Structure 1
Amino acid sequence: MTDLPLLLFVGAATEDSIALVERYPGRDERVVAQSIELSGGGPAATAAVAAARLGMRTAIVAAVGEDAAGGRVRGALRTEGVDVSGLRTVPGATTSRSVVVISGSEHSRAIVNQPGPVIEWTSEDNDRLTGAAWVHVDQHGWAPLRTATTRLGRTTQLSLDAGNPIEDLDVAAATLYVPTLPALLERYGRDGTTEVATLLGRALDDGAGRAVVTDGARGCYGMGADRQLLHVPAPAEPVRSTLGAGDVFHGALLAGLVHAAHGEIASHFQAAIAYATTAATVSCRATDGRSGIPEHAEVLSRLDPIHTNEG
């Protein structure tokens, strides 16, 4: 595909130490791990990797520390084809790192995170922003991006990962608002409403251009300006770990929208949602959040023909 637009990702870039165990240890108890892996992580960074692996031109604005972990984070992103010129190394700082314990029998995970340096927005980032067709932010990227909102012109669309709490969140700024179901319920279901169509409609009432909510193994729901509720179930794929699956979904959703605009998949919104759901579900075949991310051709091979140009 030629003339690809730039997708800019702003937020966290971390290093994860991941242990897969049969069950969580009790207090003062030691358990044997089935595997222990070191991987790149962070919502924005993993979303950028997913988009790059799915054929997109991507760049990241983030910050790492002046340490070995920061070097590994940078190297992993560069290897995936992500432009890391906006990934700054902060002297004296420590890179964000997480310890993740995944319990196979309980199908859950526990995460301990050490935050990294704060992103300091620069004039060079303004140039990256104005040159991007989409900018995607997580909870760490929201605040620094808001310092440059006057640069968000009509040619730049904002994708918002709202799965984690974000202070001073303005949903109206989002061209694409993508929370998890618990986050959507927390924001729009305080009166006891649980109907997804109503909750997504309230997000659109607040000014979001489109809204998509992920609901784990049940797939996801979406709604555009026509207020039609779309549902895409998760495909039947083996699941080893769901670590990073939501982040993969975000990057894959933007990739799906670009592929739809370029005729690589069907042009309707539901096709992009199905593309992202498939990519995120397939990525769960790996323990870490990145090594299982499929490439574009594999996603196409697994999509229902109604979402491709063959349907």
Structure 2
Amino acid sequence: MSDSAVTRSTGGPVVFVGAATIDSIALVGDFPGPDDRVVAEDLVFAGGGPAATAAVAAARLGVAAAFVGTVGDDADGQLIVDSLAAEGVDVSGVSRRAGARSAASVIVVDQRRGTRAICARTGPEVDTSRAADLLDRAEWVHADHLGWAAVRHLLERPVEQRPRLSVDAGNPIPGFTPAGVDLYVPTVEALGRIHGARDPQLLLDQALRAGALRVVATDGGRGSLGADASGERAAAPAEAVDVVSTLGAGDVFHGALVAAHVRRLPLADALAYANTVAALSCLGLDGRSAIPTHDDVEAHQRARTARPA
């Protein structure tokens, strides 16, 4: 990673740009077949969306976080904004589209197989017109697949005059290239789709050749690995927990990874930190309720280190 990307600090907030939803989540013993009726083990209503959940994770970890996105002027939109504000996330950059319906999902989690099915209603396109000041003051800007188009212009500024950019590239982003991006975070699977199935370390090399200053790839139950333009490389295994649901775990990982960068953790420590946060979030059915605090993470890591080999 370039020296300027490592050392430059504005002390501003981390701004998360992209999708926010309201989710209805059912936990069932087995996924229902056609015309089946099953009794849910649990049913919860919670906020979701990649960028919004990453913002909640960062805030829970003690980082000043703001969310920028667009909701409808419906009741779901109010719930989305209220759930973010309740977590201490700055929502001053959220816009409301008159006559539009907010993004929402119905999610069924299959407890036996550890899988899920998602039925989603998309929301309005991201509008950053209320967020110019937030983006100018930001230390980091993190965008998901819906937020990238709204922030890509920041790369046109000289590096010392812009926030550092982090991109969640687990979902396809039309026209996206990681050139100049400070922290590029795809999955190993997504890198394989772009560059062809090959060794994960070779996929990291390809991402760096494409211009990313630092790339961190998540690899499901195998953990995460990263590399940057300076030659630094690291990998961290996944944390073993009694998983209730993996819903939102990748989004939580992204928020925790940016929080680790704000805290200036070395790459290896940043990966381990984000892995721990994401794993602990899987103790809840929804993607947010079990996100730990920074103190929780430190306590968990101390306890893990103290366990006999």
> After TM superposition, is the score higher than 0.5?
yes
2:226 counterpart residue number: 222
Query: Could you tell me how far apart the structure 1 residues matched to 2:212 and 2:63 are?
Result: 24
Q: The residue matched to 1:25 in structure 2 has which SS?
A: coil
Q: How large is the Cα RMSD of the aligned pairs?
A: 1.8
Q: CA deviation at 1:151?
A: 4.9
Which stretch of the first structure deviates more once superposed, 6-15 or 137-146? 137-146
Q: Give the counterpart of 1:275 among 252, 273, 276.
A: 273
Letter in 1 for 2:267: F
1:284 counterpart residue number: 282
Contact 1:44 1:138 in 2 (8 A): yes
Query: Could you tell me how far apart the structure 2 residues matched to 1:10 and 1:219 are?
Result: 25
Contact 2:184 2:215 in 1 (8 A): yes
Q: The residue matched to 2:176 in structure 1 has which SS?
A: coil
Q: Give the counterpart of 1:84 among 91, 98, 102.
A: 91
* Overall identity of the aligned pairs, in %: 47
Letter in 1 for 2:85: R
Q: CA deviation at 1:121?
A: 2.9
Matches within 5 A, 1:1-311: 4-122=11-129, 124-151=130-157, 153-154=159-160, 155-189=162-196, 192=197, 194-259=198-263, 261=264, 267-303=265-301
Q: The residue matched to 2:77 in structure 1 has which SS?
A: helix
Query: Could you tell me how far apart the structure 1 residues matched to 2:231 and 2:156 are?
Result: 29
Contact 1:13 1:45 in 2 (8 A): yes
Question: Aligned in 2, Cα 1:147/1:224: closer, same or farther, shift over 3 Å?
Answer: closer
Query: Could you tell me how far apart the structure 1 residues matched to 2:221 and 2:11 are?
Result: 31
Query: Could you tell me how far apart the structure 2 residues matched to 1:286 and 1:216 are?
Result: 18
Query: Could you tell me how far apart the structure 2 residues matched to 1:14 and 1:127 are?
Result: 24
Letter in 1 for 2:131: D
Letter in 2 for 1:235: E
- Provide, for residues 231-252 of structure 1, a one-character-per-residue CA deviation record: whole Å limited to 9, x for no partner: 1011222110000000000000
Which stretch of the first structure deviates more once superposed, 73-82 or 219-228? 219-228
- TM-score, normalised by the number of residues in structure 2: 0.91
Query: Could you tell me how far apart the structure 2 residues matched to 1:152 and 1:53 are?
Result: 31
Question: Aligned in 2, Cα 1:8/1:151: closer, same or farther, shift over 3 Å?
Answer: farther
- Provide, for residues 86-138 of structure 1, a one-character-per-residue CA deviation record: whole Å limited to 9, x for no partner: 1111110000000111001111111111000111232x423221211100000
Contact 1:126 1:151 in 2 (8 A): no
Contact 1:214 1:221 in 2 (8 A): yes
Contact 2:69 2:128 in 1 (8 A): no
Question: Aligned in 2, Cα 1:117/1:157: closer, same or farther, shift over 3 Å?
Answer: same
Contact 2:92 2:131 in 1 (8 A): no
Question: Aligned in 2, Cα 1:148/1:221: closer, same or farther, shift over 3 Å?
Answer: closer
Query: Could you tell me how far apart the structure 2 residues matched to 1:34 and 1:65 are?
Result: 31
Letter in 1 for 2:206: R
Q: CA deviation at 1:148?
A: 4.9
Query: Could you tell me how far apart the structure 2 residues matched to 1:66 and 1:283 are?
Result: 30
- TM-score, normalised by the number of residues in structure 1: 0.90
Q: CA deviation at 1:186?
A: 0.5
Query: Could you tell me how far apart the structure 1 residues matched to 2:216 and 2:145 are?
Result: 17
Contact 1:46 1:248 in 2 (8 A): yes
1:264 counterpart residue number: none
Question: Aligned in 2, Cα 1:305/1:257: closer, same or farther, shift over 3 Å?
Answer: farther
- Provide, for residues 247-273 of structure 1, a one-character-per-residue CA deviation record: whole Å limited to 9, x for no partner: 0000000111122x2xxxxx4211111
Letter in 1 for 2:94: L
Q: CA deviation at 1:228?
A: 4.5
